[in-house]
Structure 1
Amino acid sequence: MVKKNSRSQYQQELPERGPVEALIYWRDPKKSGIVFGSILVILLSLAYLSLISVVAYVSLLTLFGTIVFRVYKSVLQAVQKTSDGHPFKEFLDLELTLPQDKVREFTDTAVTHINAAVAELRRLFLVEDMVDSIKFAVLLWCLTYIGALFNGLTLVILGFVALFTVPKVYENNKTSIDAYLDIGRSKIAEITSKVKAAIPIGKKDADKEKDQ
Protein backbone atom coordinates (compact mmCIF):
# COMPACT_ATOMS: atom_id res chain seq x y z
CA MET A 1 0.00 0.00 0.00
CA VAL A 2 2.84 2.38 0.82
CA LYS A 3 4.46 1.72 -2.57
CA LYS A 4 1.21 2.42 -4.43
CA ASN A 5 0.61 5.64 -2.48
CA SER A 6 4.17 6.86 -3.06
CA ARG A 7 3.91 6.01 -6.76
CA SER A 8 0.60 7.85 -7.17
CA GLN A 9 1.98 10.83 -5.24
CA TYR A 10 5.04 10.85 -7.51
CA GLN A 11 2.85 10.79 -10.63
CA GLN A 12 0.77 13.69 -9.32
CA GLU A 13 3.92 15.77 -8.81
CA LEU A 14 5.04 15.24 -12.43
CA PRO A 15 4.34 18.08 -14.89
CA GLU A 16 1.47 17.63 -17.29
CA ARG A 17 2.40 16.61 -20.82
CA GLY A 18 0.64 16.26 -24.15
CA PRO A 19 -0.39 12.79 -25.38
CA VAL A 20 2.84 12.24 -27.32
CA GLU A 21 5.04 13.60 -24.54
CA ALA A 22 3.16 11.48 -22.00
CA LEU A 23 4.14 8.39 -24.00
CA ILE A 24 7.78 9.46 -24.24
CA TYR A 25 7.98 10.28 -20.53
CA TRP A 26 6.28 6.99 -19.56
CA ARG A 27 3.44 8.62 -17.62
CA ASP A 28 1.42 5.46 -18.25
CA PRO A 29 3.96 2.60 -18.43
CA LYS A 30 1.41 0.23 -19.95
CA LYS A 31 0.57 2.49 -22.90
CA SER A 32 4.18 3.55 -23.40
CA GLY A 33 5.33 -0.07 -23.28
CA ILE A 34 2.79 -1.15 -25.90
CA VAL A 35 3.68 1.71 -28.27
CA PHE A 36 7.43 1.33 -27.72
CA GLY A 37 7.40 -2.47 -28.12
CA SER A 38 5.14 -2.46 -31.20
CA ILE A 39 7.12 0.15 -33.12
CA LEU A 40 10.45 -1.38 -32.09
CA VAL A 41 9.34 -4.81 -33.37
CA ILE A 42 8.33 -3.24 -36.70
CA LEU A 43 11.66 -1.41 -37.02
CA LEU A 44 13.63 -4.55 -36.19
CA SER A 45 11.55 -6.49 -38.72
CA LEU A 46 12.49 -3.96 -41.39
CA ALA A 47 16.14 -4.81 -40.74
CA TYR A 48 15.55 -8.38 -41.94
CA LEU A 49 12.51 -8.13 -44.24
CA SER A 50 11.42 -5.79 -46.98
CA LEU A 51 8.96 -2.98 -46.29
CA ILE A 52 6.26 -4.73 -48.32
CA SER A 53 6.70 -7.96 -46.34
CA VAL A 54 6.55 -6.15 -42.99
CA VAL A 55 3.40 -4.24 -43.98
CA ALA A 56 1.79 -7.45 -45.25
CA TYR A 57 2.67 -9.47 -42.11
CA VAL A 58 1.57 -6.73 -39.71
CA SER A 59 -1.69 -6.26 -41.62
CA LEU A 60 -2.35 -10.01 -41.67
CA LEU A 61 -1.72 -10.34 -37.92
CA THR A 62 -3.98 -7.37 -37.21
CA LEU A 63 -6.73 -8.69 -39.47
CA PHE A 64 -6.44 -12.18 -37.97
CA GLY A 65 -6.75 -10.74 -34.47
CA THR A 66 -9.81 -8.64 -35.30
CA ILE A 67 -11.54 -11.58 -37.07
CA VAL A 68 -10.91 -13.92 -34.12
CA PHE A 69 -12.15 -11.31 -31.67
CA ARG A 70 -15.25 -10.60 -33.80
CA VAL A 71 -16.09 -14.33 -34.02
CA TYR A 72 -15.48 -14.79 -30.28
CA LYS A 73 -17.81 -11.89 -29.37
CA SER A 74 -20.47 -13.13 -31.79
CA VAL A 75 -20.40 -16.64 -30.29
CA LEU A 76 -20.45 -15.19 -26.78
CA GLN A 77 -23.47 -13.05 -27.61
CA ALA A 78 -25.25 -16.07 -29.12
CA VAL A 79 -24.58 -18.22 -26.06
CA GLN A 80 -25.55 -15.52 -23.58
CA LYS A 81 -28.43 -14.36 -25.81
CA THR A 82 -27.38 -10.73 -25.64
CA SER A 83 -27.38 -8.03 -28.29
CA ASP A 84 -24.33 -5.93 -27.60
CA GLY A 85 -23.90 -5.16 -31.28
CA HIS A 86 -20.66 -4.93 -33.22
CA PRO A 87 -17.62 -5.26 -30.92
CA PHE A 88 -15.76 -2.55 -32.84
CA LYS A 89 -18.70 -0.15 -33.09
CA GLU A 90 -16.89 2.45 -31.00
CA PHE A 91 -13.98 2.49 -33.44
CA LEU A 92 -16.20 2.32 -36.53
CA ASP A 93 -17.99 5.47 -35.40
CA LEU A 94 -14.75 7.42 -34.99
CA GLU A 95 -14.24 10.33 -37.38
CA LEU A 96 -11.01 9.64 -39.30
CA THR A 97 -11.03 12.58 -41.71
CA LEU A 98 -8.14 15.01 -41.45
CA PRO A 99 -9.24 18.53 -40.44
CA GLN A 100 -8.26 21.02 -43.14
CA ASP A 101 -7.13 23.68 -40.67
CA LYS A 102 -4.73 21.23 -38.97
CA VAL A 103 -3.36 20.06 -42.34
CA ARG A 104 -2.85 23.68 -43.43
CA GLU A 105 -1.18 24.53 -40.12
CA PHE A 106 1.12 21.53 -40.40
CA THR A 107 1.99 22.38 -44.02
CA ASP A 108 2.77 26.01 -43.15
CA THR A 109 5.00 24.91 -40.26
CA ALA A 110 6.80 22.37 -42.45
CA VAL A 111 7.41 24.96 -45.19
CA THR A 112 8.75 27.43 -42.61
CA HIS A 113 11.21 24.87 -41.25
CA ILE A 114 12.28 23.81 -44.78
CA ASN A 115 12.93 27.41 -45.83
CA ALA A 116 14.94 28.01 -42.64
CA ALA A 117 16.98 24.85 -43.24
CA VAL A 118 17.71 25.81 -46.86
CA ALA A 119 18.80 29.30 -45.81
CA GLU A 120 21.05 27.88 -43.08
CA LEU A 121 22.65 25.37 -45.47
CA ARG A 122 23.28 28.13 -48.00
CA ARG A 123 24.95 30.19 -45.28
CA LEU A 124 27.15 27.28 -44.22
CA PHE A 125 28.17 26.08 -47.69
CA LEU A 126 28.92 29.60 -48.95
CA VAL A 127 31.03 30.33 -45.83
CA GLU A 128 29.18 33.39 -44.58
CA ASP A 129 30.78 32.72 -41.18
CA MET A 130 34.10 30.86 -41.22
CA VAL A 131 33.77 29.35 -37.73
CA ASP A 132 30.24 28.05 -38.33
CA SER A 133 31.29 26.52 -41.66
CA ILE A 134 34.28 24.82 -40.01
CA LYS A 135 32.03 23.39 -37.28
CA PHE A 136 29.67 22.17 -40.00
CA ALA A 137 32.59 20.53 -41.81
CA VAL A 138 33.62 18.76 -38.60
CA LEU A 139 30.04 17.55 -38.18
CA LEU A 140 29.97 16.19 -41.74
CA TRP A 141 33.34 14.51 -41.17
CA CYS A 142 31.96 12.79 -38.06
CA LEU A 143 28.89 11.71 -40.03
CA THR A 144 31.12 9.91 -42.54
CA TYR A 145 32.39 7.69 -39.72
CA ILE A 146 28.89 7.19 -38.33
CA GLY A 147 27.66 6.22 -41.81
CA ALA A 148 30.48 3.70 -42.14
CA LEU A 149 29.45 2.03 -38.85
CA PHE A 150 25.65 2.18 -39.11
CA ASN A 151 23.11 2.21 -41.91
CA GLY A 152 20.10 4.50 -41.98
CA LEU A 153 17.68 2.03 -40.43
CA THR A 154 20.05 1.29 -37.55
CA LEU A 155 20.26 5.02 -36.81
CA VAL A 156 16.47 5.24 -36.90
CA ILE A 157 16.21 2.37 -34.39
CA LEU A 158 18.83 3.94 -32.11
CA GLY A 159 17.07 7.29 -32.39
CA PHE A 160 13.71 5.73 -31.54
CA VAL A 161 15.14 3.94 -28.49
CA ALA A 162 16.80 7.19 -27.40
CA LEU A 163 13.49 9.02 -27.83
CA PHE A 164 11.87 6.75 -25.24
CA THR A 165 14.83 6.65 -22.84
CA VAL A 166 16.80 9.92 -22.89
CA PRO A 167 13.92 12.27 -21.89
CA LYS A 168 12.99 10.08 -18.91
CA VAL A 169 16.62 9.73 -17.81
CA TYR A 170 17.06 13.50 -18.11
CA GLU A 171 13.89 14.15 -16.13
CA ASN A 172 15.05 11.88 -13.30
CA ASN A 173 18.60 13.33 -13.25
CA LYS A 174 17.97 16.89 -14.40
CA THR A 175 20.11 18.69 -11.81
CA SER A 176 23.32 16.73 -12.31
CA ILE A 177 22.95 16.59 -16.11
CA ASP A 178 22.38 20.36 -16.32
CA ALA A 179 25.55 20.93 -14.29
CA TYR A 180 27.62 18.89 -16.77
CA LEU A 181 25.93 20.58 -19.73
CA ASP A 182 26.81 24.02 -18.35
CA ILE A 183 30.44 22.94 -18.05
CA GLY A 184 30.38 21.66 -21.65
CA ARG A 185 28.80 24.89 -22.95
CA SER A 186 31.39 27.03 -21.22
CA LYS A 187 34.23 24.93 -22.69
CA ILE A 188 32.73 25.11 -26.19
CA ALA A 189 32.26 28.89 -25.89
CA GLU A 190 35.87 29.24 -24.74
CA ILE A 191 37.20 27.15 -27.66
CA THR A 192 34.99 29.01 -30.16
CA SER A 193 36.25 32.39 -28.96
CA LYS A 194 39.86 31.19 -29.31
CA VAL A 195 39.22 29.91 -32.84
CA LYS A 196 37.56 33.18 -33.86
CA ALA A 197 40.49 35.12 -32.45
CA ALA A 198 42.97 32.93 -34.36
CA ILE A 199 41.20 33.26 -37.74
CA PRO A 200 41.69 36.60 -39.57
CA ILE A 201 38.04 36.67 -40.64
CA GLY A 202 37.00 36.15 -37.05
CA LYS A 203 39.20 39.11 -36.02
CA LYS A 204 37.65 41.33 -38.70
CA ASP A 205 34.14 40.42 -37.58
CA ALA A 206 35.08 41.12 -33.97
CA ASP A 207 36.54 44.53 -34.96
CA LYS A 208 33.37 45.37 -36.90
CA GLU A 209 31.22 44.52 -33.90
CA LYS A 210 33.39 46.74 -31.69
CA ASP A 211 33.16 49.65 -34.18
CA GLN A 212 29.38 49.33 -34.31
Structure 2
Amino acid sequence: MAEHTQDSGPVTESMMDKITEKLHGHDSSSSSSDSDNEKSSPSPMKKPEVNRLFGRQKTLHEVLGGGKRADMLLWRNKKNSSVLLGGATSIWILFELLDYHLLSLLCHCLILALTILFVWSNASSFINKSPPRIPEVSIPEEPVIQFATALRFEINRVLAVLRDAATGRDLKKFLAVITSLWVLSIMGSCCNFLTLFFIGFVLLHTVPVFYEKYDDQVDKFAEKAMAEIKKQYAVFDAKVLSKIPKGPFKDKKRA
Protein backbone atom coordinates (compact mmCIF):
# COMPACT_ATOMS: atom_id res chain seq x y z
CA MET A 1 0.00 0.00 0.00
CA ALA A 2 2.85 2.34 0.85
CA GLU A 3 4.61 1.38 -2.40
CA HIS A 4 1.43 2.22 -4.36
CA THR A 5 1.24 5.69 -2.86
CA GLN A 6 4.94 6.26 -3.49
CA ASP A 7 4.52 5.26 -7.18
CA SER A 8 1.43 7.39 -7.65
CA GLY A 9 3.27 10.54 -6.48
CA PRO A 10 5.57 10.88 -9.55
CA VAL A 11 2.68 10.01 -11.85
CA THR A 12 0.46 12.79 -10.53
CA GLU A 13 3.36 15.24 -10.65
CA SER A 14 4.04 14.37 -14.31
CA MET A 15 0.35 14.79 -15.15
CA MET A 16 0.26 18.21 -13.45
CA ASP A 17 3.38 19.24 -15.41
CA LYS A 18 1.72 18.27 -18.69
CA ILE A 19 -1.46 20.19 -17.80
CA THR A 20 0.48 23.35 -16.92
CA GLU A 21 2.53 23.05 -20.13
CA LYS A 22 -0.68 22.82 -22.17
CA LEU A 23 -2.17 25.80 -20.35
CA HIS A 24 0.96 27.89 -20.91
CA GLY A 25 1.06 26.89 -24.54
CA HIS A 26 -2.61 27.88 -24.98
CA ASP A 27 -2.04 31.27 -23.31
CA SER A 28 1.01 32.00 -25.44
CA SER A 29 -0.81 31.01 -28.62
CA SER A 30 -3.84 33.14 -27.69
CA SER A 31 -1.62 36.12 -26.85
CA SER A 32 0.28 35.76 -30.10
CA SER A 33 -2.97 35.51 -32.05
CA ASP A 34 -4.25 38.63 -30.29
CA SER A 35 -1.05 40.50 -31.12
CA ASP A 36 -1.31 39.35 -34.73
CA ASN A 37 -4.90 40.55 -34.84
CA GLU A 38 -3.85 43.88 -33.42
CA LYS A 39 -1.13 44.18 -36.04
CA SER A 40 -3.43 43.12 -38.85
CA SER A 41 -6.32 45.36 -37.72
CA PRO A 42 -6.31 48.60 -39.69
CA SER A 43 -5.53 51.80 -37.85
CA PRO A 44 -8.43 54.21 -37.39
CA MET A 45 -8.93 56.75 -40.14
CA LYS A 46 -7.60 60.20 -39.37
CA LYS A 47 -9.96 63.08 -39.81
CA PRO A 48 -9.00 65.33 -42.69
CA GLU A 49 -7.47 68.56 -41.53
CA VAL A 50 -9.64 71.61 -41.97
CA ASN A 51 -8.21 75.07 -42.52
CA ARG A 52 -9.54 77.12 -39.64
CA LEU A 53 -11.20 80.43 -40.29
CA PHE A 54 -8.66 83.28 -40.76
CA GLY A 55 -5.88 80.71 -40.25
CA ARG A 56 -6.35 80.56 -36.49
CA GLN A 57 -4.31 78.06 -34.49
CA LYS A 58 -5.72 78.85 -31.03
CA THR A 59 -9.07 77.99 -29.56
CA LEU A 60 -11.93 80.42 -29.98
CA HIS A 61 -11.82 81.22 -26.26
CA GLU A 62 -8.17 82.28 -26.59
CA VAL A 63 -8.85 84.26 -29.77
CA LEU A 64 -11.51 86.29 -27.94
CA GLY A 65 -8.99 87.23 -25.26
CA GLY A 66 -9.81 84.62 -22.64
CA GLY A 67 -10.99 85.38 -19.13
CA LYS A 68 -14.41 86.73 -18.20
CA ARG A 69 -14.88 88.60 -21.48
CA ALA A 70 -14.57 85.42 -23.54
CA ASP A 71 -16.77 83.54 -21.08
CA MET A 72 -19.41 86.24 -21.52
CA LEU A 73 -19.30 86.11 -25.32
CA LEU A 74 -19.34 82.29 -25.43
CA TRP A 75 -22.14 82.04 -22.85
CA ARG A 76 -20.08 80.01 -20.38
CA ASN A 77 -22.02 81.85 -17.67
CA LYS A 78 -25.53 81.91 -19.12
CA LYS A 79 -26.97 84.07 -16.35
CA ASN A 80 -24.54 86.97 -16.82
CA SER A 81 -24.68 86.76 -20.62
CA SER A 82 -28.48 86.75 -20.67
CA VAL A 83 -28.63 89.69 -18.25
CA LEU A 84 -26.19 91.67 -20.39
CA LEU A 85 -28.02 90.92 -23.64
CA GLY A 86 -31.40 91.62 -22.01
CA GLY A 87 -30.15 94.96 -20.68
CA ALA A 88 -28.87 95.99 -24.11
CA THR A 89 -32.19 94.99 -25.66
CA SER A 90 -34.10 97.01 -23.07
CA ILE A 91 -31.95 100.08 -23.71
CA TRP A 92 -32.49 99.77 -27.47
CA ILE A 93 -36.26 99.40 -27.05
CA LEU A 94 -36.34 102.36 -24.66
CA PHE A 95 -34.34 104.73 -26.85
CA GLU A 96 -35.28 103.52 -30.33
CA LEU A 97 -38.85 102.21 -30.20
CA LEU A 98 -40.19 104.40 -27.40
CA ASP A 99 -38.20 107.42 -28.64
CA TYR A 100 -36.73 108.16 -25.23
CA HIS A 101 -33.57 110.25 -24.75
CA LEU A 102 -30.47 109.49 -22.71
CA LEU A 103 -30.32 112.86 -20.96
CA SER A 104 -33.99 112.67 -20.01
CA LEU A 105 -33.54 109.16 -18.66
CA LEU A 106 -30.57 110.15 -16.51
CA CYS A 107 -32.37 113.20 -15.12
CA HIS A 108 -35.55 111.27 -14.34
CA CYS A 109 -33.63 108.47 -12.60
CA LEU A 110 -31.70 111.01 -10.49
CA ILE A 111 -34.91 112.86 -9.61
CA LEU A 112 -36.56 109.63 -8.48
CA ALA A 113 -33.54 108.46 -6.46
CA LEU A 114 -32.98 111.82 -4.76
CA THR A 115 -36.67 112.16 -3.88
CA ILE A 116 -36.80 108.70 -2.30
CA LEU A 117 -33.63 109.32 -0.26
CA PHE A 118 -34.78 112.79 0.83
CA VAL A 119 -38.18 111.56 2.01
CA TRP A 120 -36.63 108.54 3.72
CA SER A 121 -34.07 110.70 5.55
CA ASN A 122 -36.70 113.13 6.86
CA ALA A 123 -39.30 110.49 7.71
CA SER A 124 -36.87 108.24 9.61
CA SER A 125 -37.25 110.33 12.80
CA PHE A 126 -41.05 109.92 12.75
CA ILE A 127 -41.14 106.20 12.09
CA ASN A 128 -38.26 105.42 14.50
CA LYS A 129 -36.00 103.95 11.88
CA SER A 130 -32.41 104.68 11.03
CA PRO A 131 -31.82 107.01 8.09
CA PRO A 132 -30.44 105.51 4.88
CA ARG A 133 -26.70 105.10 4.60
CA ILE A 134 -25.66 106.76 1.40
CA PRO A 135 -22.26 105.42 0.30
CA GLU A 136 -19.60 107.62 -1.20
CA VAL A 137 -19.56 106.81 -4.90
CA SER A 138 -16.38 107.45 -6.86
CA ILE A 139 -15.07 106.10 -10.15
CA PRO A 140 -11.89 104.03 -9.65
CA GLU A 141 -8.90 105.03 -11.68
CA GLU A 142 -7.65 101.62 -12.87
CA PRO A 143 -10.74 100.51 -14.91
CA VAL A 144 -10.90 103.91 -16.61
CA ILE A 145 -7.22 103.68 -17.57
CA GLN A 146 -7.68 100.13 -18.86
CA PHE A 147 -10.69 101.14 -20.95
CA ALA A 148 -8.89 104.19 -22.32
CA THR A 149 -5.82 102.08 -23.16
CA ALA A 150 -7.89 99.45 -24.95
CA LEU A 151 -9.83 102.11 -26.86
CA ARG A 152 -6.60 103.88 -27.83
CA PHE A 153 -5.11 100.59 -29.08
CA GLU A 154 -8.15 99.82 -31.24
CA ILE A 155 -8.26 103.35 -32.70
CA ASN A 156 -4.55 103.22 -33.53
CA ARG A 157 -4.99 99.85 -35.21
CA VAL A 158 -7.84 101.18 -37.36
CA LEU A 159 -5.77 104.23 -38.29
CA ALA A 160 -2.84 101.98 -39.23
CA VAL A 161 -5.08 99.89 -41.50
CA LEU A 162 -6.42 103.03 -43.17
CA ARG A 163 -2.89 104.36 -43.64
CA ASP A 164 -1.68 101.09 -45.21
CA ALA A 165 -4.67 101.10 -47.54
CA ALA A 166 -4.01 104.69 -48.58
CA THR A 167 -0.30 104.18 -49.38
CA GLY A 168 -1.15 101.89 -52.30
CA ARG A 169 1.16 99.07 -51.25
CA ASP A 170 -1.53 96.41 -50.93
CA LEU A 171 -4.37 96.46 -53.47
CA LYS A 172 -6.29 93.70 -51.69
CA LYS A 173 -6.31 95.64 -48.43
CA PHE A 174 -7.39 98.79 -50.27
CA LEU A 175 -10.33 97.01 -51.90
CA ALA A 176 -11.29 95.34 -48.60
CA VAL A 177 -11.29 98.67 -46.74
CA ILE A 178 -13.29 100.43 -49.48
CA THR A 179 -15.83 97.59 -49.55
CA SER A 180 -16.18 97.61 -45.76
CA LEU A 181 -16.70 101.37 -45.65
CA TRP A 182 -19.23 101.15 -48.47
CA VAL A 183 -21.20 98.44 -46.63
CA LEU A 184 -21.12 100.52 -43.43
CA SER A 185 -22.37 103.56 -45.32
CA ILE A 186 -25.32 101.56 -46.67
CA MET A 187 -26.10 100.23 -43.20
CA GLY A 188 -25.80 103.75 -41.77
CA SER A 189 -28.31 105.08 -44.28
CA CYS A 190 -30.79 102.37 -43.28
CA CYS A 191 -30.50 102.76 -39.50
CA ASN A 192 -29.02 105.14 -36.95
CA PHE A 193 -25.90 104.65 -34.85
CA LEU A 194 -27.74 103.17 -31.85
CA THR A 195 -29.42 100.49 -33.95
CA LEU A 196 -26.14 99.75 -35.70
CA PHE A 197 -24.37 99.44 -32.35
CA PHE A 198 -27.14 97.17 -31.03
CA ILE A 199 -26.91 94.92 -34.11
CA GLY A 200 -23.15 94.63 -33.63
CA PHE A 201 -23.64 93.88 -29.92
CA VAL A 202 -26.16 91.12 -30.66
CA LEU A 203 -23.93 89.61 -33.36
CA LEU A 204 -20.98 89.68 -30.97
CA HIS A 205 -23.00 87.66 -28.43
CA THR A 206 -24.48 85.15 -30.89
CA VAL A 207 -22.02 84.50 -33.74
CA PRO A 208 -19.11 83.20 -31.55
CA VAL A 209 -21.43 80.71 -29.81
CA PHE A 210 -22.79 79.51 -33.14
CA TYR A 211 -19.26 79.21 -34.57
CA GLU A 212 -17.97 77.31 -31.54
CA LYS A 213 -20.80 74.78 -31.91
CA TYR A 214 -20.54 74.30 -35.69
CA ASP A 215 -16.90 75.26 -36.30
CA ASP A 216 -16.09 72.33 -38.61
CA GLN A 217 -19.02 73.02 -40.94
CA VAL A 218 -18.37 76.77 -40.95
CA ASP A 219 -14.64 76.30 -41.63
CA LYS A 220 -15.35 73.98 -44.58
CA PHE A 221 -17.83 76.45 -46.05
CA ALA A 222 -15.43 79.37 -45.47
CA GLU A 223 -12.61 77.44 -47.15
CA LYS A 224 -14.73 76.87 -50.25
CA ALA A 225 -15.88 80.51 -50.23
CA MET A 226 -12.30 81.82 -49.94
CA ALA A 227 -11.19 79.57 -52.80
CA GLU A 228 -14.00 80.92 -54.97
CA ILE A 229 -13.18 84.53 -54.01
CA LYS A 230 -9.51 83.99 -54.89
CA LYS A 231 -10.54 82.48 -58.21
CA GLN A 232 -12.77 85.43 -59.06
CA TYR A 233 -10.10 87.89 -57.94
CA ALA A 234 -7.55 86.19 -60.21
CA VAL A 235 -9.95 86.60 -63.15
CA PHE A 236 -10.55 90.26 -62.21
CA ASP A 237 -6.82 90.83 -61.88
CA ALA A 238 -6.10 89.28 -65.26
CA LYS A 239 -8.85 91.14 -67.12
CA VAL A 240 -8.89 94.53 -65.37
CA LEU A 241 -6.12 95.26 -62.86
CA SER A 242 -3.25 94.02 -65.00
CA LYS A 243 -4.32 96.38 -67.80
CA ILE A 244 -4.20 99.50 -65.62
CA PRO A 245 -1.07 101.54 -66.49
CA LYS A 246 1.36 101.84 -63.62
CA GLY A 247 2.42 105.24 -62.34
CA PRO A 248 5.93 106.69 -62.75
CA PHE A 249 6.55 106.42 -59.01
CA LYS A 250 6.41 102.64 -59.07
CA ASP A 251 8.56 102.49 -62.19
CA LYS A 252 11.24 104.62 -60.52
CA LYS A 253 11.03 102.53 -57.37
CA ARG A 254 11.57 99.31 -59.30
CA ALA A 255 14.43 100.86 -61.30
TM-score above 0.5, yes or no: yes
**CA distance in 1: counterparts of 2:103 and 2:147, whole angstroms:** 28
Q: In structure 1, what is the equivalent of residue 142 of structure 2?
A: 99
Match of 1:171 in 2: 212
Matched residues in 2 for 1:87 and 1:134: separation? Answer: 61
Q: Report 1:165-204 matches (<5 A).
A: 165-198=206-239, 199-200=241-242
State the one-letter code of the partner of 1:161: V
Distance in 1, matches of 2:91 and 2:185, equals 27
- Paired residue type of 2:104: S
C-alpha distance in 2 between matches for 1:116 and 1:141:
20
What does 1:7-22 correspond to in 2, within 5 Å? Answer: 17-22=66-71
SS of 2:205's equivalent?
helix
TM-score (normalised: structure 1):
0.61
| 1:32 counterpart letter in structure 2 | S
Matched position secondary structure for 1:27: coil
SS at match of 2:206: helix
What code does the residue aligned with 1:99 have? Answer: E
Task: Give the whole-Å Cα distance in 1 for the aligned partners of 2:208 and 2:133.
Answer: 35
CA, structure 1 residues 182+56, in 2 after alignment: closer, same or farther (shift >3 Å)? farther
Aligned counterpart, 1:25: 74
Alignment map for 1:87-166 (pairs within 5 Å)? 97-99=140-142, 103=145, 107=148, 110-166=151-207
Q: Judging changes above 3 Å, is the alpha-carbon distance between structure 1 residues 42 and 106 closer, same or farther for their aligned structure 2 residues?
A: closer
Q: Deviation digits for residues 79-123 of structure 1, max 9, x if unmatched?
A: xxxxxx99999xx699962239x82x6655544443332232133
What is the Cα deviation at residue 160 of structure 1? 1.4
Contact 2:73 2:204 in 1 (8 A): yes
Instruction: Tell me, yes or no, if the aligned pair for 1:131 and 1:202 is still in contact at 8 Å.
Output: no
Residue identity opposite 2:170 in structure 1: D
Q: 1:19 to 1:197 in 2, by over 3 A?
A: same
| Residues 88, 198 of structure 2: 8 Å contact kept | no
CA distance in 2, matches of 1:170, 1:87: 49
Q: 1:155 to 1:58 in 2, by over 3 A?
A: farther
Q: Which residue of 1 aligns with 2:93?
A: 44
Q: Separation in 2 of the partners of 1:178 and 1:155? A: 27
Relative to the length of structure 2, the TM-score reads: 0.52
Structure 1 residue 44: Cα displacement: 2.3
- Offset from partner CA, 1:60-91 (integer Å, 9 cap, x none): 67x49x97xx99xx9xxx9xxxxxx99999xx
- Is 2:187–2:196's contact at 8 Å kept on the other side of the alignment? no
Q: What is the identity percentage for the equivalent residue pairs of Structure 1 and Structure 2?
A: 24
Q: Distance in 1 between matches of 2:167 and 2:229?
A: 24
Is the 1:130–1:201 contact (alpha carbons within 8 Å) kept by the matching residues of 2? Answer: no
**Cα distance between partner residues in 2 of 1:58 and 1:188:** 52
Q: Is the 8 A contact 2:165 2:173 kept in 1?
A: yes
Q: 2:11 corresponds to which residue? A: none
